[in-house]
Amino acid sequence: MSFAKLDELCRIHSAIDHAQAILGADEATHMASGGGEERASAMGRLAAMSHEMLTAPEVADWIAAARQENLDPDQQAAVREFARVHANMTALTAQFVERQTNARMRSEQLWRKLRPNGDWKGFEPALSELLELAREEASMRGAALGLDPYDALIEQHDPGSRAGEIEKIFAELKQFLVDFVPEAEEAGRRRKAPNGLREFPVEAQRELGIHLMKAVGFDFEHGSLSVSVHPFCGGVPTDVRITTRYRNGDFLSALMGVLHETGHALYEQNLPRKWHHWPSGRARGMAMHESQSLFSEKQIGRNPAFWRFALPFVREKLGVDWTIEEIVAAVLEVKRGLIRVDADEVTYPLHVILRFELERELISGSLSVRDIPQAWDEKMKANFELSTIDDPKDGPMQDVHWPAGVFGYFPSYTLGALLAAQQWQAVVKALPDVETDIAAGRFDRINDWRRDNIWSQASVRSADEITRKATGSALNAQPFIEHLKERYGA
Amino acid sequence: MSFAKLDELCRIHSAIDHAQAILGADEATHMASGGGEERASAMGRLAAMSHEMLTAPEVADWIAAARQENLDPDQQAAVREFARVHANMTALTAQFVERQTNARMRSEQLWRKLRPNGDWKGFEPALSELLELAREEASMRGAALGLDPYDALIEQHDPGSRAGEIEKIFAELKQFLVDFVPEAEEAGRRRKAPNGLREFPVEAQRELGIHLMKAVGFDFEHGSLSVSVHPFCGGVPTDVRITTRYRNGDFLSALMGVLHETGHALYEQNLPRKWHHWPSGRARGMAMHESQSLFSEKQIGRNPAFWRFALPFVREKLGVDWTIEEIVAAVLEVKRGLIRVDADEVTYPLHVILRFELERELISGSLSVRDIPQAWDEKMKANFELSTIDDPKDGPMQDVHWPAGVFGYFPSYTLGALLAAQQWQAVVKALPDVETDIAAGRFDRINDWRRDNIWSQASVRSADEITRKATGSALNAQPFIEHLKERYGA
């Protein structure tokens, strides 16, 4: 039976995936610095091996044959999603994948080394090499999938998303934000900020984070919290590795990061166990994934109701005596800044739109790596009246994505924010008193909704179908705009 | 060219090996408890994949053809050692390897869970399954290699070692130790023990360990120190993972463990980089590996000269005011005890000989798993006048080896101790003032000798050849017996 052959193939493939996921998390958390070169080469070999297996000539035959077999709806969805992944895989040769994986690993390791000194010149050649590989990839994928090159890259991260659609949504959002950012900043200044921001020991911050992770549903039997330069959620669904970075003087930076990664982790931990080894059992693209992290971080974690529950623990662990008004003022601060990952939810989309615009030009060839700092600076000035031209560390060297050879990913962040707002509206409709739950530290009803509507759906349906079924409408900017107005408006 | 084909195969194989090594270290240090099942299954698949590649029908042809090619001596040694590994690999089927790997992972995870409560009954079925698999393995390997079954298992850990030879050496040693242990205990009691053993914070112990690791030559660019239940040295030569376990009241336990694993790590870190991916570039069996850990821990780390160098750091990090006589008394304490890994170098061989005797019977079938606690107890009484019958946690459940399905490994520990003593005699002959170096914290001349004679030799020659060339004679018990008499005698 061909379905059984595909099932066995998925099991072998998911063993390599498991190794890659743990090696990836390990690289950013526990690897010795001198271990990078052999790690890059080992991961390159594994990627090539995995690619070779999935693209072997007989696999296409198995897919065709499995489609004729008598399968239940879950199995049909599994074959359908497998076929989609297979089409994306066969677009590239094994040699190209290995070359690209090696270049990505080397470049990311170089970035980790050069970023602290903002050595853009030293990093430029590696990034140029990666961009050339990405353009080659985009062109090969585009030809195979019948998509524009940049769309073909977006497809790898957020299947079904297209730059044309994104452009329209982003235009609506950008137009709104131009006027709204100054208004929200002004409204924020009227809130009473907390005093007594001071040194908070990392260990106390870590304990607070773990306490809140547990409260919102993170399963420590199947995951852990660690430290890395750039926070991430990695590992495998039965062992989800999330990380944060601690800053002594600003506990909210690490804590909100922890809540964000916990949202990713909840998605992974609640994927259907039975289908872990099939593509249909994985998360439905990165916009959906980001909607889960932003739902946890923004819709729940920055909701004033959440702080009625969380403030006592902050007081206990960090020894502060803030009022609810003060902590909420800190949580809802709006301030134009240089760093995307530190941005508030009002200004964040402008960081993403900047990157979307630049990488579209990079892939089309109308912008070169050498000209990134200048182009970046112009957009930062236009959006925020801020300049990074003298400080690439806080400009185009701040993100891991391009150094890791990842293009077409950035839009997912803001699409995820829109989806999260849309999901929140649906939750409020289904559970009108949801904020009472949150204020009491009860997250089971919310998690049930999320499990039923998002997590358990994995990749059985398309992101569009999941969103329409869960929220009653297609992805759009309105719920997010309403959310910002309500939470941050004057 | 067939050599090139083998080289490429070794590169792919070493990528899987890299993944397995890091996944293995990760499992014992950072894995979430609920991640064990999928980890076991992933590692089982990877092991099968690796096995399948190395045993593919064409590989035997490549070996035969490569032997006819015009190769330099290093390449010839590489092919020779590859052929040896290949012969051992082809002795087992891929199905058997996967079945055994899965059973090993499950059993080791169960052991981690049941050991704290000493639940021998709960663990018995898993261990029985593993023993049956080990006997099956021994019989298949024995048939393929023309060896007795237990010899065929020893061969996997210490190529060239045979139970008959080991038995003779162990008999000589056991006979010596029967009288010597009470004498050494008595001599130890006359030394002035340190007072003020108290709680030492883990962080201070860790800093002390790292300081001494650096001093003796551990390269933190290519390795790290972490924590696990059972200390080990794992990872890959460019990223060696060593672990220890901390006990508040006994800093020497963790510290000597750190020095021990550092000895293993020095070997790995100094293997010839060019041959990392070939079997000939790996360490020459576990007796040789253990000789390196014991050289670092016992020959250097318990040498009174070492403490003239190390004591000031102990004082500084732990805030104690011991004299050199007191710390040396603690380091040279001899005391019969239940736990192998806590045993001093005088009583340690008796723990190993006990296990050697028992596992020989287990593999031959004359002892069943059910009867292990009784047999263990009888030998503990005979050797040490100690009983563990009511406490399997400190009896047959104390070691990770059998729970991980590893039989034929234990002799390596004591063979390693003999080799280390033999190497030390050779070092003293080459560098008569070596203890002056040690007392001054200078380890470069010693490390040069070890690098030239052991580390750089990797598996280019047999263990016997390496030992004869480095020390002038074959492995024997005399240097170790002389060492014990000199250091611990009345």
Q: Are the beta carbons of B29 and B227 closer than 8 angstroms?
A: yes
B53 to chain A: closest CA residue: A49
Select the more confidently predicted residue: A275 or A93: A275
A181-233 pLDDT, tens digit each? 999 999 999 888 777 667 899 999 999 999 999 999 999 999 999 999 889 99
pLDDT of res. A196: 62
Residue B411 sits at the vertex; the CA angle it makes with B406 and B414, to the nearest 5 degrees, is: 135
Range of A38-42, A338-342, B296-300 with top mean pLDDT: B296-300
Residue B291 sits at the vertex; the CA angle it makes with B290 and B293, to the nearest 5 degrees, is: 60
> What three-state secondary structure class fits B191?
coil
Instruction: Return the bridge partners of B244, or none.
Output: B227
Select the more confidently predicted residue: B263 or A320: B263
Q: Does A433 touch chain B (CB under 8 A)?
A: no
Catalytic residues of B, by residue number, are 261
Q: Does B304 touch chain A (CB under 8 A)?
A: no
Give A-chain residues touching B22 at CB under 8 angstroms. 22-23, 26
pLDDT surpasses 90 at B388: no
- What CA–CA distances, in Å, run from B464 to B160, B284, B287, B414, B461? 8, 10, 11, 16, 8
pLDDT of res. B83: 97
Give B-chain residues touching A219 at CB under 8 angstroms. 34
User: How many Cβ atoms sit within 10 Å of the Cβ of residue A125?
Assistant: 12
Summary mean pLDDT of chain B: 95
Please report which confidence band the pLDDT of residue B441 belongs to, taking 50, 70 and 90 as the band edges: very high
pLDDT of res. A105: 85
A236 to chain B: closest CA residue: B35
Instruction: Tell me the domain boundaries of chain A.
Output: 2-157
* Percent of chain A whose predicted confidence (pLDDT) is above 90: 88
Instruction: Report ipTM for this prediction.
Output: 0.88
> What three-state secondary structure class fits B366?
coil
Q: Does A42 touch chain B (CB under 8 A)?
A: yes
pLDDT surpasses 90 at A250: no
Mark yes or no for CB contact A39/B222 under 8 Å.
Answer: no
Q: Does B274 touch chain A (CB under 8 A)?
A: no
pLDDT surpasses 70 at B438: yes
- Quick one: average pLDDT of A384-394? 89
Tell me which DSSP letter residue B220 carries.
Answer: G
A127-179 pLDDT, tens digit each? 999 999 999 999 999 999 999 999 999 999 999 999 999 999 999 999 999 89
Short-list B46, B395, B204, B409, CA closest to A20: B46
Mark yes or no for CB contact B33/A221 under 8 Å.
Answer: yes
Select the more confidently predicted residue: B148 or B178: B148
At the top level of CATH, which class does the domain B182-341+411-488 belong to?
mainly alpha
Least confident of A41-45, A477-481, B412-416: A41-45
pLDDT of res. A191: 87
Give residue A261's Cα distance to chain centre.
9
A221 to chain B: closest CA residue: B34
Please report which confidence band the pLDDT of residue B109 belongs to, taking 50, 70 and 90 as the band edges: confident
B125-177 pLDDT, tens digit each? 999 999 999 999 999 999 999 999 999 999 999 999 999 999 999 999 999 99
- Quick one: average pLDDT of B66-77? 97
Q: Are the beta carbons of B34 and B85 closer than 8 angstroms?
A: no
Select the more confidently predicted residue: B479 or A193: B479
pLDDT of res. B197: 65
* Percent of chain A whose predicted confidence (pLDDT) is above 70: 99
pLDDT of res. A165: 96
Please report which confidence band the pLDDT of residue A97 belongs to, taking 50, 70 and 90 as the band edges: confident
pLDDT of res. A302: 97
Please report which confidence band the pLDDT of residue B196 belongs to, taking 50, 70 and 90 as the band edges: low
